[in-house]
Structure 1
Amino acid sequence: MIGRRKDDHVRLALEQQRTNSGRNQFDEVSFVHHALAGIDRADVSLATTFAGISWQVPLYINAMTGGSTKTGIINRDLAIAARETGVPLASGSMSAYFKDPDCAGTFSVLRTENPDGFVLANVNANATTEQAHRAVDLLRADALQIHVNTVQETVMPEGDRSFSAWLGQIEKIAAASDVPVIVKEVGFGLSRETVLTLRDLGVRVADLGGRGGTDFARIENDRRGPADYAYLHGWGLSTAACLLDAQDAGIPVLASGGVRSPLDAARALALGASGVGVSGGFLRALLDGGVEALTALISAWLDQLTALLTMLGARTPAELTRCDLTVHGDLRTFCIDRGIALGPLAQRSRTVHAPRNLTGST
């Protein structure tokens, strides 16, 4: 039954990728163009460091799948693409492995095919510390994701209905883990209040996992008999909103959910993300064109992201947070309602470049 559900998730996620309107709130974030900001491409590095973690690139393949024969093949191909491009790679939820150890290979293939890469294991917030250790051990994982997904579980016909223990379990896992713990949403977003709570629980990093990409409320509703939770389609905070909301929350954040292009990745990094995760778009490339197509797409994204940093005058992903941004539309309204000051965001470069007069004195 779990394997069938995992296959359903992949099928329905792919259908969403092919039918989505293509717009989300990243479109309401714009860089202020400074015509003389550009630097030399040779001076740009994509390396990023956060919470003691060092990645050569700020892009990663985020959690997708595992637990069935078909999804094991997908994980194999994702691992090959990660190996060939050097991007970190996260497992899908490993709950299926805890219930049926025979499906371990559909997850461990991530490490088998990518022996030297950065791999993240993934468990739910009901997992025990023993299960968390088993997940990390199976993948020889470099970090552990704990996913939180109350909306998905609520709509899922066979989903959890009890969530009050999650805070305690997250704290226990974070305290017992030998690798950094990252808590992620699955597409409904983490508010500032949630990120602050995670920080206090000992979580090292928050993956904001906002609205704008795959909608798991819609997926689970499509799996029901009567599709009676349609009113929850589109629930949650967009990834751009989460990034603005979580500024200076005290722990590093990763951005995932609705990242459609290298420009979205640059926007997310400029809004404060230490890394940017992609799932749906990469899944579509893989299933439509195979591992070669996915590898080519990731390579193109990394090349274009380097080009964007060069154009914007950022030598590293972290320096994108010095670039000026303007916020429009509903996202601007969200910021006003949440008390988020947008003026400084549009004037950040003024604190980097001192004014110079025509005589050369400063």
Structure 2
Amino acid sequence: MNYASRKDDHVRLAVAQHQRSATAHDLSPFDEIAFVHHALRGTAEHAVSLATEVSGASWPVPLYINAMTGGSARTGEVNRELAIAARETGLAIASGSMSAYLADSAVAHTYRVLREENPDGYVIANVNANATPDMAAQVVELLGADALQVHVNAVQEIVMPEGDRDFSAWPRNIARLAESLGIPVIVKEVGFGISADTVTQLADLGVSIVDVSGSGGTNFALIENARRRQDDFGLLAGWGLSTPACLLDGAEVAVARGVTLLASGGVRTPLDAVRGLALGARAVGISGHFLSILQGEGLDALIAAIDTWITQIRQLMVLLGADNVRALTCTDLLLAGGLAETCRLRGIDPGHYARRSRKPVAVHPVR
């Protein structure tokens, strides 16, 4: 398998996909979420803390650069610049799939650069769900990783010409990884979403962090279909649950089972990030949008864009009267359109979110 060629294809096709999406100005499920404006609830900017806790680790901001790439000369340079951006802005960063390194140690430097350029940052290694504990330990050691991301990508594999066709061992493998490693294990989809039922299953397997990674961002069904000789498997282009739908679906069970939710997939703006946090995510990940900026405008532009995101997230929290990330889960949300219908079909009351901030009114007896 030519990993380098495939990794380069993924970057090229992902950037092209995001450029087309930005030009089309398509509506997103995030656009079906509106905050109820309460005119006198604003707080002071100096009082707002962006710090968030993920499995006992404190992140200075509730954003992270999510899994993208590695395994070729070109993608190694992309990782180097992403690592610098993470270092300069304080964001956690996840590696792309490290299967290429496990197959050929000669490409180790294309991943190791994430730690070399970001020695004090929060770095997350990445393997697929077929990885053994020994493989996982190998990638964690290479990056000095603070956590391991295990990606589940059955839809991508099915469309991928050279992809896997047997996913039956995944639950057993994930349980072994969660049990054997001494660092947090994050299970992540690659853009097709994780349902409440899957959150429950993962909790039973010993996983305590789930990145829902819903549809709306980089679409790997389309990317892999473009790599097929006959371009003949586009029927899965619309497969999956959106990121907001995943958060709404999984929020209750996540709280009940002590699972931390992370949100990625289709996050386009700081407002989308705040919407994700308000739906219960502890932090929000961005891949395609940041990659598009990096490839189109360069490293300095990416750093400036991330700094702007951080500033605007803080200012949106000021407007909403949220002094911290957790407080956003008490803000009032209006859910509309297909997202509200998805809630109803899954047994979730959309109206609950419209009145979350209301406190019970004390009733005093008449004397």
The TM-score with structure 1 as length reference comes to: 0.97
Q: Does 51-60 or 291-300 show the bigger shift?
A: 51-60
Aligned residue runs from structure 1 range 143-182, under 5 A: 143-182=147-186
The number of residue pairs the alignment matches comes to: 355
SS at match of 1:247: helix
- Work out the CA distance in 2 between the residues paired with 1:176 and 1:83: 29
In the alignment, which residue of structure 1 is the partner of 2:319? 311
Amino acid at match of 1:334: T
- Which of 339, 353, 361 aligns to 1:345? It is 353
Q: How big is the shift at 1:355?
A: 8.1
Tell me which residue corresponds to 1:360.
none
Secondary structure of 1:18 counterpart: helix
In 2, Cα distance between the equivalents of 1:196 and 1:24? 27
Partner of 2:331: 323
Deviations 1:121-140 (CA, angstroms, capped at 9, x unpaired): 00000000000001110000
In structure 1, the gaps of 5 or more residues are: 357-362
1:50 is displaced (CA, Å) by: 3.2
- Aligned partner of 1:278 in structure 2 is 286
Q: Secondary structure at the match of 2:252?
A: coil
1:199 equivalent in alignment to 2:207: no
1:212-227 superposed matches below 5 A: 212-227=216-231
AA matched with 2:72: S
Secondary structure in structure 1 of the residue aligned to 2:239: coil
Secondary structure, in 3 states, of the residue corresponding to 2:53? strand
Please give the root-mean-square deviation of Cα atoms over the aligned residues, in Å: 1.1
- After superposition, give the CA deviation of every residue in 1:256-310 in whole Å (9 maximum; x if it has no partner): 0000000000000000000000000000010011110110000000000000000
Whole-Å separation in 2 of the counterparts to 1:310 and 1:298? 19
Secondary structure of 2:40's aligned partner: coil
Question: Is 1:73 aligned with 2:106?
Answer: no
Distance, in Å, in 1 between the alignment partners of 2:54 and 2:103 is: 33
Q: 1:36 aligned to 2:44?
A: no
How many Å separate the matches in 1 of 2:74 and 2:137? 26
Give the unaligned 5+ runs of structure 2: none
Residue in structure 2 matching 1:244, options 218, 242, 248 = 248
Aligned-residue offset at 1:53: 2.3
- Which residue identity is paired with 1:276? V
Separation in 1, partners of 2:361, 2:323: 19
2:336 aligned with 1:335: no
Q: Find the partner of 1:183 among 181, 187, 197.
A: 187
Q: Which amino acid aligns with 1:213?
A: G
What is the aligned partner in structure 2 of residue 359 from structure 1?
none
CA shift, 1:317, in A, is 1.1
* Paired residue secondary structure (1:144): strand
AA in 2 matched with 1:81: A
AA paired with 2:200? Answer: L
SS in 2 for 1:60: strand
Corresponding residue for 2:8?
Answer: 7
- The 4+ residue runs of structure 1 with deviation greater than 3 A are 353-356
Q: Percent identity?
A: 57
Scaled by the length of structure 2, the TM-score of the pair is: 0.95
Letter in 1 for 2:297: G
Identify which of 230, 234, 242 aligns with 1:230. 234
* CA distance in 1: counterparts of 2:122 and 2:191, whole angstroms: 23
Partner of 2:355, secondary structure, is helix
Name the SS of the counterpart of 1:102 in structure 2.
Answer: helix
Q: Residue 354 of structure 1: CA displacement?
A: 6.0
Q: What residue number does 1:268 align with?
A: 276
SS at match of 1:195: helix
Question: What's 1:97 paired with?
Answer: 101
How far the C-alpha of 1:86 sits from its partner, in A, is 0.3
Matched residue, 1:61: 65
SS of 2:151 mapped into structure 1: strand
Q: Aligned partners of 1:355 and 1:271: how far apart in 2? A: 28
Amino acid at match of 2:92: P
Task: Indicate the SS of the match to 2:238.
Answer: coil
Letter in 2 for 1:339: G
Aligned AA for 1:189?
A: G
Which residue in the other structure is 1:289 paired with? 297
User: 2: CA distance between counterparts of 1:188 and 1:354?
Assistant: 42
Letter in 2 for 1:59: L
**Equivalent residue number for residue 18 of structure 1:** 19
1:131 aligns with 2:135: yes
Cα drift, residue 178 of structure 1: 0.9
Task: Describe the superposition over 1:297-337 as per-residue Cα deviations: whole angstroms up to 9, x where unpaired.
Answer: 00000000000000100001110001000110011111110
